[in-house]
Amino acid sequence: MKDADAQLLMRFYDGECSPAEEDAAGRLIREEPEAMPWLDALAAQQERFENLPPVLSELAIEQDWQSLKEQLAPTATPSQPKKSNLVWPRFWTASAAAAIILFAAIAFLLPGNDATAQAVTPNIVDSVETDIEGATPIIYVDQESGWSVVWVDEAAATAS
């Protein structure tokens, strides 16, 4: 059965059809062999919904809870605490603590990726040429950065 036919039959069952739709629903019931069993199933489902038990109120829920607590109260007797089947000797705790301390000490003492611990390879310059006549190039390595610094002293060239 098509969805449109099922919707028409639901409206017909609920009494929400116009006269033209009632005629169309009557024709569908007479001509379609699945229509009448489908309407019967819809009626049975509606009846099941109408016969559902009522929803409990908060008062009824509270009364049921109190009666359940009263039923369980006499049977509950204080008992001895159960001993755990898990065996955890004291030396295991001490061993675990020692292992953690040893791991932390080794991790702290091993050299890490500290920037100061890394060796800086200096950029060494052997010689510098200049186009300035009589100028003296001065080359040194900066201690902080490791870069080679080149200065050209023109004073010697202009003084002569």
Structural domain for 142, as ranges: 120-160
User: Is 101 contained in some domain?
Assistant: no
Verify that 68 and 13 share a domain, yes or no.
yes
Q: What is the pLDDT along the chain (160 residues), one digit of tens a residue?
A: 788 888 888 898 888 889 999 999 999 889 888 889 988 998 888 887 777 666 666 777 788 778 777 777 765 555 666 666 666 677 778 888 899 999 888 888 876 655 554 555 656 677 777 888 888 888 877 888 778 888 787 765 455 5
Radius of gyration of the chain (CA): 48
Number of domains comprising the chain: 2
Domain boundary among 44, 74, 104: 74
User: Is 11 contained in some domain?
Assistant: yes
Q: Are 8 and 28 in contact (CB under 8 A)?
A: yes
Verify that 70 and 125 share a domain, yes or no.
no
Q: Are 35 and 29 in contact (CB under 8 A)?
A: yes
Domain boundary among 20, 43, 74: 74
Verify that 3 and 68 share a domain, yes or no.
yes
